[in-house]
Amino acid sequence: MAQLIDGKKISAELLDNVALEVADFKKMHGIAPSLAVVLVGDDPASQVYVRNKIQRANQVGIRSIEHRLAADVTQSELNDLVDELNWNPEVHGILVQLPLPAHLNEEDIVNAIDPCKDVDGFHPLNVAALALGNPKLVPCTPQGSMMMLTQTLGDLTGKHAVVIGRSDIVGKPMAALLLQSNCTVTMVHSRTRDIEALCRQADILVAAVGKPELVKASWVKPGATVIDVGINVTLIDGVRKLVGDVDFADVEKVAGAITPVPGGVGPMTIANLLQNTLKAAHVQMFK
Ligand SMILES: Nc1nc2c(c(=O)[nH]1)N[C@@H](CN(C=O)c1ccc(C(=O)N[C@@H](CCC(=O)O)C(=O)O)cc1)CN2
Ligand SMILES: [Mg+2]
């Protein structure tokens, strides 16, 4: 049976470390790092994620400022808020919870955030910095996935990593980070031919595609490390159940190590958001 990569445990260690560094930051500067969290509308999952982010921020001593906007807010009203947060020296990190309601243009909003406060790492300047091998603020889910990989495997040099999915917030930055760690990287997606055979070549398999339990044991090389980024809500006999993109019960029989859902990558995302907030605050103090 595969080793379980425990995201709750690894993220708790990271949060303890962030809390210590936040205490040092406060001693040095006399203020707390601060994070502005913008939530538009009433998507139930987004409400849960935002609540968890604020709760964890408070736990490590980061000041959080919540901005809740109605679902029918206009693009220019949201832009005005982002602008105000950009100019406010008491705000070190800004995050706009995604997805936004359909009438809003996500790209324009992300582009409006000051790249130095972009703790999600989604701004084009942060994307470019990562692609050029000089990362500044890195997207939280891929950064957390890399921490789990290095804790499990140590040096990743020479390993063949296959990333399933090419989203801007997970697949692409994940591939860039794996490349930076000297992996040989293959990206597969909906138009790839024979995905299964390519996945079977992977020493490291990262599933970030949003398809419940897509990856079966037959896709996995014996002993491979499997990172499951998927968070899919399914109904089993009328009961809400969270499953990943990996068929855990099947794949754990062949993998060397595997992340569960829940309790894997998810908690790492939030811990990395707070680490990014601290990093952004440090950079702004010396500007
Ligand atoms: N601005 C952003 N929006 C979104 C991001 C993001 O990184 N920045 N990522 C996702 C949602 N997300 C954080 O925002 C997120 C999703 C899931 C978890 C998590 O801890 N999940 C738990 C299970 C929670 C549950 O029971 O529902 C787990 O996997 O154990 C954290 C953060 C999209 N939007
Ligand atoms: Mg839209």
CA distance 37 to 110: 13
CA distance 125 to 259: 31
Residue 287, pLDDT > 90, answer no
Q: How large is the C-alpha radius of gyration of the chain?
A: 19
Mean pLDDT of 27-39: 98
Averaged pLDDT score across all residues of the chain: 97
166 pLDDT band, cuts 50/70/90, is very high
Tens-place pLDDT, residues 171-202: 999 999 999 999 999 999 999 999 999 999 99
| Tokens linked to 118 | 């972009």
Question: Which positions make up the binding site for NADP(+)?
Answer: 165-167, 231
Give the residue among 12, 8, 268 at the shortest CA–CA distance from 144: 268
Tens-place pLDDT, residues 1-10: 999 999 999 9
**Assembly ipTM:** 0.96
Residue 253, pLDDT > 90, answer yes
208 pLDDT band, cuts 50/70/90, is very high
pLDDT over 70 percentage in the chain: 100
Residue of minimum CA distance from atom 27 in ligand 1: 45
Mean pLDDT of 154-166: 98
Using DSSP's 3-state secondary structure scheme, residue 128 falls into helix
pLDDT over 90 percentage in the chain: 97
Residue 269 beta carbon below 6 angstroms from any ligand 1 atom: yes
Residue 82, pLDDT > 90, answer yes
Catalytic residue among 114, 118, 120, 228: 120
Residue 235, pLDDT > 90, answer no
The predicted pLDDT at position 35 comes to 98
CA distance 226 to 260: 10
Ligand 1 pocket: which of 5, 6, 231 to mutate (most atoms <8 Å of CB)? 231
Residue 236, pLDDT > 90, answer no
CA distance 215 to 253: 13
Give the number of whichever ligand sits closest to the CA of residue 78.
2
Mean pLDDT of 248-253: 98
Residue 129, pLDDT > 90, answer yes
**What domains are there in the chain, each with its CATH number?**
30-113 (3.40.50.10860), 140-266 (3.40.50.720)
| Tokens linked to 159 | 């390993």
Give the number of whichever ligand sits closest to the CA of residue 105.
2
Residue 120 beta carbon below 6 angstroms from any ligand 1 atom: yes
